């Protein structure tokens, strides 16, 4: 099972610049893009809090989750939502933390969430508009997304 935590980069600045109604509309569009990027009917995309989303990917390993991360970032880039207040890019971007595990008796969901959260923090600290993967310490960036 894999978990991706996604955080819209500089969302407070987005709200301050465009207004809260535009911010709410933006999050609706982001959620739809994430749903398209996740793709499988049994994948769960949910708002995790504020501008953060959780994407639960059952029966998927780290390599599969990495493919989903690429699709998520592609879907967001295709929206082309302007973000004039972002120091990262002129359009809306997001940072992702990807974690996966084979569930065992001693490991619960808290291990998966804690790992994805720590990796999300690393992606944000590393410059945003990128993902970090658990286990391998791999780094991925948005490549053609203006990173």
Of 121, 77, 74, residue with least CA distance to 97: 121
Task: Please pick, among 51, 52, 66, 75, the residue that the annotation labels catalytic.
Answer: 51
Euclidean distance between CA atoms 136 and 35, whole angstroms: 26
Task: Tell me if residue 66 is catalytic.
Answer: no
| Cα 90 from Cα 97, distance rounded (Å) | 22
Distances 108 to 2, 68, 102 between C-alpha atoms, Å: 13, 23, 10
Name the residues annotated as catalytic.
51
């Amino acid at each position: 099972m894999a978990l991706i935590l996604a955080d819209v980069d500089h969302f407070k600045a987005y709200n301050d610049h465009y207004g809260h109604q535009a911010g709410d509309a933006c999050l609706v569009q982001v959620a739809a893009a994430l749903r398209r990027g996740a793709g499988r009917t049994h994948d769960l995309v949910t708002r995790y809090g504020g501008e953060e989303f959780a994407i639960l990917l059952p029966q998927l390993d780290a390599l599969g989750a990495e493919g989903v991360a690429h699709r998520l970032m592609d879907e967001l880039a295709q929206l082309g939502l302007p973000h004039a207040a972002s120091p990262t890019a002129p359009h809306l971007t997001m940072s992702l933390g990807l974690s996966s595990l084979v569930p065992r008796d001693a490991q619960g969901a808290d291990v998966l969430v804690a790992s994805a959260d720590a990796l999300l923090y690393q992606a944000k600290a590393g410059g945003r508009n990128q993902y970090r993967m658990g286990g391998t310490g791999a780094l991925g960036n948005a490549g053609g997304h203006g990173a």
